[in-house]
A = this chain, B = another copy of it.
Amino acid sequence: MNSGIPGAGLPALRDHNAALVLDLLRVATVADGGAGISRQELATRTGLTPQAVSKIVARLAGQGLVAEAGRGASTGGKPRTLLRLVRQARYAVGLHLDRDELTVVLVDLAGEAVTERVTPFDLGAGPGAVLEAVAERVREVTSDVPGAERVLLGAGAAAPGPLDHAAGVLGRVTGFPGWDGFALADALAGRLGLPVTLDKDTNAAALRVPADGPRPASFAYLHVGSGLGAGLVLDGALYRGPRTGAGEFGHQTLEPDGPRCACGRRGCLEALCLAALADGDTARAARLLAVGAANLAALLDIDRVVLGGRAVTPAFRDEVAAALAREAAPGTVRVARECAGARTIAEGAAWLVLAPLFGRRRFGFWRRFLAAVPDDGF
C-alpha cells in the first residue's frame, strides 16, 4: 500500500480554497468587534485573485454561510463591502464526558458556544445510562435550533484517554475498566442520529485553548487532572500519532530508578507529580511538571505551553511558569498567562466537527516546503 495520499481534482481544489476563505471569514467574525473582512483582503490573504474570491464568496453565500455586513471606510475609491460568517447557518455539539461531570455545549458556525449544560454524571453507570443521559442533554441543547436536521453538522465527544480516535473506541479509562473497548462514537452516532467524532479530552482542549496572543503553529496543552496528559499541536494541526495515542506526557520516566508506575515503567512524571500534589507540595509538583515540559519543549522546539485541568489554579500556573523559566534554556518556552477553563474541552470537542470546514487538511499540496520522507512501502 502506498502512502495513501490521494490525487486531487477540481472539487478538492474548490474545497481547499473555500475552506481558506471560510476560515478567514470566521476569524473576522469572531475577532474583536467582528467587523468582517472585504473581498479584497481575502484575496491578498489567500493569494487568490479578487475575481476568484468573488466567485468563492458567491458560492458560499448561495449556501447561506456568508453574508454582507456593511461597508468599510473608503481608501480613496469605492469602499470595501465587508463580509461575515452567518453564525446561525450551522451548529455543532460538543461533549465532555468527564468521570463525574457531563458538559454539553452547542457551538455556532463561528466556533463560539451558544448554549451550555453542565450536569453531574457517573461514568461508571455503564453504557445504557450514560448514552441516555448524553442524549437527553443533547436534546435539551439542540431543541431551540430551527431546522436542526439540516444545520447540525455533528457532535464531537471528548473523553479521558487513552482511546482510539480513528475507530472511535474507548480504551482503559482509569477507574472505569468497564468501558475498555467500547465503541462510543458509533453508539453515540446511533443514539443521536448525528455523525460523532471521538477524541481524548487533552486533544479537544488543545483545539480550543485560549493561549494569550496569536495561537502559535506548534504548542502543547498540558492537562493536570486525575492524570497527566498532553495535547500536541504541531505545524498547525493536532498530532495524534500512528495509533492516535500521542500525548502520553505523564508517562515519561524522570527517575530511571524511581518507583514503579501503574503503566509498568519506573519513575513516571505522572506518579511523581500527582504524589507531590497529594502531599500539598505544589512547589515540587510544579518543578517536576516544568522539567517534563522543558523536555517536551526541547524535543519538539515548542515555545509555548498552556496549562489546564482541575489541579491547575492560577497560583499553580505561576509556580510552573517560574519553575519552567529555571528549567528550560532561557527564552525558549513560556507558559501562557491564561489557563484552560472548564468549558474549553467541550468547546474543543465541538471543534472536532467544525475543523474540516475551515480545514487545513491532512496531506498534499503545500507540503512541498517541508522535506517529505521517501515512501518505500508497498
Contacts and interface: CB of A to CB of B under 8 A. Distances in A.
A156 B368 CA distance: 15
A264 B303 CA distance: 17
B16 A364 contact: yes
Contacts of A288: 256
Given A365-B364, A368-B361, A230 B299 contact: yes
Contact of A300 (B206, B238, B239, B264): B239
Interface in A177-230: 199, 203, 206-208, 213-218, 230
A339 to B, nearest CB: 17
A5 interface: yes
Contacts of A244: 301
Given A5-B366, A352-B371, A363-B367, A241 B300 contact: yes
A305 to B, nearest CB: 13
A328 B263 CA distance: 9
A2 interface: yes
A241 B365 contact: no
Contact of A17 (B8, B20, B217, B361): B8
A89 interface: no
A370 B374 contact: no
A230 B299 CA distance: 8
A378 B327 contact: no
Interface stretch (A23-31, A74-82, A91-99): A23-31
A206 B371 CA distance: 10
Contacts of A208: 374
A214 B52 CA distance: 42
A237 B355 contact: no
A238 B30 CA distance: 33
A256 B52 contact: no
Nearest to A217: B242
A239 B248 contact: no
